[in-house]
Amino acid sequence: MTEWKSMDIDLLVVGGGPAGMAAAVEARQAGLQVLLVDQRERLGGAIYCQPDPGCAPVAMSARHRARWQALSREFAASGAAVEFHTSFAGLDSEGLALLERRASAGEAGRVLPVRARAVVLAVGAVERIAPLPGWELPGVMSAGGLQMMMKRRGAVPVGRTLLAGSGPLLLAVASQMVALGQPPVAIIERARPFGQPAELLKLLATPGYLREALAILARLHKARVPVLHATQLTSIRLAAGGGLEVECRGQGDERRFSVDRVALHDGIRPNDFGLPGGAATGGPVLSRAGDCREALGAVAAIEDGKRAGREAARMLGLKLPAMSLQPVKRERRAQAVLARLFSPALTTPPADLPDETVICRCENRTAGDLRGLLAGHDGLSAREVKLNGRFAMGSCQGRFCADATVDFLRRCGAGAEALEASHLTGRRWPVRPVGIATLLAEGGAAADPASVIRIEEE
């Protein structure tokens, strides 16, 4: 066992989901010293999120269970060091990686500066949610957030839940709710996934996906969960007697639901907000892996993690063959089929959102504010949208509004075609807000024994 007095390491892996774990395993096999950090308290990431102590795990499909068991076995045997409750706050201009160890019982938070020769960022994906009137109300959450709650607690929060938006995740969440004995009131899906038989047939090429999909659909059918296709929410309001009043519109007809909770979801995208891009001169070799590089799902995340771990070893001078990209390509094709199946039959063009629709929830900026900003300008730059409009400036730093803002601008603002969400979110330092006391707490130096990280050496 070696004690790491100075925080110099070969490879820092950020994120303990499948991509990060696979990268760590691969890099250890190549002989690198590896430190993996995750902001949470357990490994698993989004897909293999483990239950809180004392809670029952949510059932996983056999194929997922087998993958997770193999990966966690390999990881445990790899000898990679792990720090939980530790989030990556960015690379500074000197190439130092800043790790924020969050305050926990009896221990103040602090920032550990780490000098790594290579860094693999494997921080996963985030959900997209298209703004609609009322999406900022209490009781509205993301479907992925609901799923994480279920995975952690082993139970569905009580009350009537409506799932809405678009994408296969809605079906997966509904099926898990059924399994836990609390089916959703309905699923409101914008797309018409069964309307494209030719695409459906392509799923035959990936029997794993097909089997999972059929199992989910069978379970929903048996539980009689209504699934409304080509339908979308138009507004959410607080109901007079508590709960939420939801309106939705299909082709021609309108429907209302009275529920306690609405879980929204419109697909996933890489969680690349504010991440450093290229490395500073003299800084670490930097790469991304898994969903944060390209959101292709769990199978691809493992393969891509292995690739990144191997690539880091190669970049640090080890003579090893590059890994095949075939498995990732196969997953990309499968995801493309899913994306086409769920390409929305309906969407409210952002131009039609009522003025009072909140777009940025942190700073409470609305569609009307964005329209006002656009009036009289053409070729507005991302910087002006941020500085003058206050979009993507709040404490979520654009995670929830950058896509929607850009979508709006592209369709409504002359000359905004070339805008990208990343122009709004930019590179942030720190990547997320960090406590000032935490930043000032000395840590990571040899003087502080609590910060010493132990790495097993065989």
Residues near another protein, by CB under 8 A: 92-94, 96, 98, 111, 113, 280, 376, 379, 381, 383-384, 387-388, 395, 397, 428-430, 433-437, 439-440
Closest distance of CB 401 from another protein, Å: 16
Cβ nearer to another protein, comparing 69 with 388 = 388
For residues 262 and 184, what is the distance between their CA atoms, to the nearest angstrom? 10
Nearest-10 crossing angle of helices 18-29, 298-315: 30
267 binds, among another protein, ligand FAD, none (CB under 5 to 8 A by kind): none
Closest distance of CB 94 from another protein, Å: 5
Residues constituting the chain: 458
Cβ nearer to another protein, comparing 283 with 350 = 283
Q: Are strands 232-238 and 365-366 parallel, antiparallel or unpaired?
A: unpaired
**Who contacts 387 (Cβ-Cβ below 8 Å, separation ≥6)?**
393
**Ramachandran quadrant class, 242 (left: phi over 0; alpha: psi -120 to 50; beta: rest):** left
434 binds, among another protein, ligand FAD, none (CB under 5 to 8 A by kind): another protein
81 binds, among ligand FAD, another protein, none (CB under 5 to 8 A by kind): none
Closest distance of CB 84 from another protein, Å: 21
Q: Find, among 340, 338, 372, 342, the residue nearest to 355 by Cα.
A: 372
Q: Find, among 422, 417, 387, the residue nearest to 402 by Cα.
A: 422
Closest distance of CB 366 from ligand FAD, Å: 26
Cβ nearer to ligand FAD, comparing 185 with 292 = 292
Closest distance of CB 373 from ligand FAD, Å: 19
Cβ nearer to ligand FAD, comparing 205 with 238 = 205
Rg over alpha carbons for the chain, rounded to the nearest Å, is 23
439 binds, among ligand FAD, another protein, none (CB under 5 to 8 A by kind): another protein
Closest distance of CB 399 from another protein, Å: 14
408 binds, among another protein, ligand FAD, none (CB under 5 to 8 A by kind): none
Q: Are 260 and 243 in contact (CB under 8 A)?
A: yes
6 binds, among another protein, ligand FAD, none (CB under 5 to 8 A by kind): none
Cβ nearer to ligand FAD, comparing 188 with 367 = 188
Closest distance of CB 21 from ligand FAD, Å: 7
Cβ nearer to ligand FAD, comparing 118 with 367 = 118
Cβ nearer to ligand FAD, comparing 26 with 369 = 26
Closest distance of CB 437 from another protein, Å: 4
The half-sphere exposure of 169 on its side-chain side, counting CA atoms within 13 A, is 27
Cβ nearer to another protein, comparing 324 with 395 = 395
Give SS3 for 165: strand
Burial of 29 (0-12, 13-18, 19+ CB in 10 A): middle
Beta partners for residue 166, in sequence order? 266
Cβ nearer to ligand FAD, comparing 268 with 312 = 268
Task: Read off the DSSP letter of residue 58.
Answer: P
Concatenated DSSP letters for 250-280? -SS-EEEEEESEEEEEE-EEE--TB---SPP
Closest distance of CB 380 from another protein, Å: 8
Closest distance of CB 326 from another protein, Å: 38
Cβ nearer to ligand FAD, comparing 75 with 391 = 75
Phi, psi of 258 (to 5 degrees): -110, 120
- Positions touching ligand FAD (CB under 6 A) are 14-20, 37-40, 45-47, 87-88, 122-127, 144, 147, 169, 172, 268, 290-292, 297-298, 301, 431
93 binds, among another protein, ligand FAD, none (CB under 5 to 8 A by kind): another protein
Closest distance of CB 96 from another protein, Å: 6
For residues 166 and 97, what is the distance between their CA atoms, to the nearest angstrom? 37
Cβ nearer to ligand FAD, comparing 199 with 291 = 291
**Who contacts 122 (Cβ-Cβ below 8 Å, separation ≥6)?**
13, 14, 15, 17, 19, 20, 23, 288, 289, 290, 292, 301, 305, 308
**Who contacts 109 (Cβ-Cβ below 8 Å, separation ≥6)?**
100, 101, 102, 103, 435, 437, 438, 441
Q: Are strands 86-91 and 97-101 parallel, antiparallel or unpaired?
A: antiparallel
Maximum pairwise Cα distance, the chain? 70
388 binds, among ligand FAD, another protein, none (CB under 5 to 8 A by kind): another protein
347 binds, among ligand FAD, another protein, none (CB under 5 to 8 A by kind): none
92 binds, among another protein, ligand FAD, none (CB under 5 to 8 A by kind): another protein
Q: What end-to-end distance do the CA atoms of the chain give, in Å?
A: 8
146 binds, among another protein, ligand FAD, none (CB under 5 to 8 A by kind): none
Q: Which two tokens stand for residue 5?
A: 């007095």
